[in-house]
Structure 1
Amino acid sequence: MALVKAGVVVLDCAEPETLAEFYKGLLDAEETATTANLIEIRGADGTRLAFRRDANATPPSWPRPENSLQAHLDFLVDDLDEAERVIVGLGGRPLEARVTSGPLEERGYADPSGHSFTLRRTTSTAPKQG
């Protein structure tokens, strides 16, 4: 039995309410805990994220070197284009375009508070036809 179990990823931000709404929409999540300075959500797949109020939060500047990548999240999707439309509709923005294609195709984004995350296309587990 593990002594320590994975808990929840916590992102510091100036406005946890805004960030919680963004990730609730992205992950089809529900709020599981709320205080004056912290909101926790659980995604439909069980992913747990929390957003902690920090009035002095400085968003990462990645890919620029100052305040560079502090941490980032990776999400798996079947359709990158559809996921991008949802992200932009929720207030996120693309960080870079990757021209690569194939099973390792990925794209970088920032949430409304500037935290970076990556979408990676899932590889099909269905047997090849024909």
Structure 2
Amino acid sequence: MIGRLHHLAIDCPDPAVLARFYSAVLGKPITYQSDDWVVVADNDHSSGLAFQLAPDHQRPQWPDPTRPQQMHLDIMVDDPAKAEPELLALGARKLADHVYEDPAGHPFCLIPKPTWA
């Protein structure tokens, strides 16, 4: 092993807003916050999602290849239909069946939790 994952850093126009969104979606706390960098993780010693200020961030336009998705998260849930209203209330927008975008426009998918998880 050469190293281990520290964080997946996601560019966005407002790190605090996007961190609060994913904190609520994933049920994980915000473990670090500054004006331009916010982290959501299990604790301050574990890897997680980091949200980085990108003032000129351009929203992805999924599925338009001229403004690609850049990255996406697959989020396991017990029941995608039950999770949808909660996501929409937090500020997500539905793009397609089980495909949503977060408040900064990054697509993410709801995946039914497999039996092994």
**TM-score (normalizing by structure 1):** 0.81
SS of the counterpart of 1:75?
strand
Match of 1:118 in 2: 109
Q: Deviations over 1:22-47 (max 9, x none)?
A: 11110111111112200001159x76
Q: How large is the RMSD of aligned CA atoms in angstroms? A: 1.6
What is the DSSP-based 3-state SS (H/G/I as helix, E as strand, rest coil) of the residue aligned with 2:60? coil
The aligned counterpart of 1:15 is: 14
**Largest Rg, 1 or 2:** 1
| In 2, Cα distance between equivalents of 1:114 and 1:30 | 22
1:124, CA displacement in angstroms? 3.0
Q: Percent identity?
A: 32
Total equivalences in the alignment: 114
What aligned pairs does 1:82-97 form with structure 2 within 5 A after superposition?
82-97=82-97
Residues 70-89 of structure 1 aligned to structure 2 (within 5 Å): 70-89=70-89
SS in 2 for 1:40: strand
> What is the 5 A alignment of 1:1-130?
2-43=1-42, 48-97=48-97, 107-124=98-115
Shift of 1:88: 0.3
Structure 1: unaligned runs, 5 residues or longer: 98-106, 126-130
Question: What's 1:104 paired with?
Answer: none
Residues of 2 paired with 1:20 and 1:123: CA distance? 26
Q: Which TM-score applies when normalising by structure 2?
A: 0.89
Q: Distance in 2 between matches of 1:95 and 1:47?
A: 28
Detail structure 1 runs of 4+ shifted over 3 Å in the superposition: none
